[in-house]
Amino acid sequence: MPGVIFVIVGRCWRKHFSLSRGKLKMLGSLFAFYQKYYSVIFIFTIVLLVAFAWSQRFIQDDAFISFRYAQNFINGEGLVWNSNERVEGYTNFLWTILISGGIISGINPITCAYLLGLIFFTISIITTYKTSRLLFETKEMSFIVMLLLGLNYTFLSYATGGLETQMQTALLILGFYFTLKITIGSNFEHKYLFVTSILFALAILTRLDSGIVILLLTIFIGNKIFSLNFPARIKIRYSLFLTAPIMIIVGSWLLWKLSYYGNILPNTFYVKASAITSPLKGLKYVSTFIFSYLLFPISIISIFAVKSIFKNKISHIILLCSLIGLWLAYVIKIGGDFMEFRFFVPIMPFIFILFGWVIFYFIKNRIYQWVLTFLILSGSVHHALTFALDKDERIEPIHNLHNHLFAEDENWSGIGKSLHQYFNHVKNMTIGVTAAGAIPYFSELRSIDMYGLNDRYIAREGAVTGITPGHQRMSTFNYLVNRGVNLVIAHPKILKQCEDAGCYLPSLPSNPNDRITQTKVVEIPIDSIYKFLALYLTPHAEVDSIIEQNQWKVHLISQK
């Protein structure tokens, strides 16, 4: 089918776009202008891509988990979710530290995350260009690769979002760039090896799963060192410059985690590793990405190109393919993600560099090259205009992630602010949430993360309720009672003020030993139009007083 499309487009191109002498002269003038002002065009393109990324900015609920840890850190309570509870519920240590620095400097964490994300987005696209130059040797091809990546809707959207996604991406592509710089020309200088090792360490401190890429890059450089005709002492010295910094930095960090949290791995690992994951769900996640971005033709061609790459032993492209394959295997194994293709972003520079090689080196026909380039660009537009919530696969579009926080009929940020307004002065107040980002952050109340990402017990012993990554386990009703949770917001239920709440109860796992209790559902206003429902679980005198003073509606219910 792709071949038929290429033939049809090729014939149309020859029929309607054959170059006359006048057209050739005009193209020659444009090319001369391009060559003369290339630097200006390049800088202008970067500025436009960053501006485009800024225009698509958003923030997601999970970002506020890091913000809460950062806020507690600068308040002197340590890197904790709740005071005096040492649980590593974040997976982005270095990003959380940077956000802490921004808050100390007086910058709002959302603004800080936006600025940092855009900086790392810029680093990512420029480094992708420079990496392509090392492989392709022509600035035109490299420029196209950078442009295709920078205009990818998912990639530019995750320039913001509030998470460490672009920071991890920038560090990984920088690590790959320095790997090529060292190995292509055998530049085994101490400074390059040292800088590369530092970059590798920073990537792992940003997210532990960066180790998948870092391990392969380290092995590749190490293999190059020991394959060359160097004296043994020089090989050992080079190896030390490559491995010592990362071992010291990452080793010290892991020892600190062990002493501070009691575990080397983050609490989130135990949520995911001890519950069900679905490789089939991961495969659907990958295939949805490919088809939504119209990447099926180039993906099929790339598979055939890989055979040629391995046959001809093109080592650096083999490394590129191996990195992509290993990362995709990891994404499939963990069952993908519920956020719109966030886990593709760290590997996207590598994917687009491979696409560039396939288009400009593997494919010889110029018309087919431009057809594929146009198809990739069209795919980004197609995805941005058509991608919607898949209720079966639970892949949430970016606009959905943003709307959770600010849409008037969800407004998780507004719920958090309302809880802060009414209950922040109440001592020993505890809430239970599944939306464990903006609500706990803005409320500043002691919170139980009902999915267990920030709760040691639920992560290991919570009821298994699904296979959505990060949402496999759930707190039981009895656990919330035992922890003294006063209000359970769970996944927020929003109603207009004129609506009757009825007898709404958040769905919680239970067991035969759960005791029967009569409790209440309270309607708490967000503003003059909307209210949210909270299960009033553990009685509290001050909470009773606030409910009475504000004359909130209360519904009696029975719960097993």
Q: Take residue 100 and report the two structure tokens written for it.
A: 């802490």
d(CA 405, CA 64): 10
CA torsion angle for 196, 201, 202, 204 (degrees, to 10)? 130
pTM: 0.89
Evaluate if residue 4 carries a pLDDT over 60. Answer: no
Q: What pLDDT is recorded for position 513?
A: 54
Kindly state the average pLDDT of the residues 79-102. Answer: 94
Whether the CB-CB separation of 92 and 163 falls below 8 Å is answered with yes
Kindly state the average pLDDT of the residues 534-548. Answer: 91
Whether the CB-CB separation of 78 and 72 falls below 8 Å is answered with yes
pLDDT digits (tens, 9 = 90+) for 128-180: 999 999 998 788 899 999 999 999 999 999 999 999 999 999 999 999 999 99
pLDDT digits (tens, 9 = 90+) for 120-142: 999 999 999 999 999 987 888 99
d(CA 219, CA 221): 6
Q: What is the DSSP string of 475-542?
A: --HHHHHHTT--EEEES--EEETTS---S--------TTSPPEEEEEEEEESSSSEEEEEEE-S--HH
Whether the CB-CB separation of 380 and 153 falls below 8 Å is answered with yes
Q: What pLDDT is recorded for position 75?
A: 93
Using alpha carbons, select from 442, 511, 499, 443 the residue that is nearest to residue 475: 511
Torsion over CA: 398, 404, 406, 409 (sign): positive
Helix H or strand E segment including 146: helix 139-150
Q: CB neighbours (10 Å) of residue 247?
A: 13
pLDDT digits (tens, 9 = 90+) for 297-317: 999 998 888 878 877 777 889
What's the first-to-final CA gap in the chain, in angstroms? Answer: 58
Torsion over CA: 207, 208, 212, 217 (sign): positive
The mean pLDDT of the chain is: 86
Q: Give the confidence band of 211 by pLDDT, cuts at 50, 70, 90.
A: very high
Torsion over CA: 405, 456, 424, 66 (sign): negative
Kindly state the average pLDDT of the residues 95-121. Answer: 96
Strand partners, 534: 522
pLDDT digits (tens, 9 = 90+) for 444-465: 999 999 998 999 999 888 877 7
Whether the CB-CB separation of 200 and 243 falls below 8 Å is answered with no
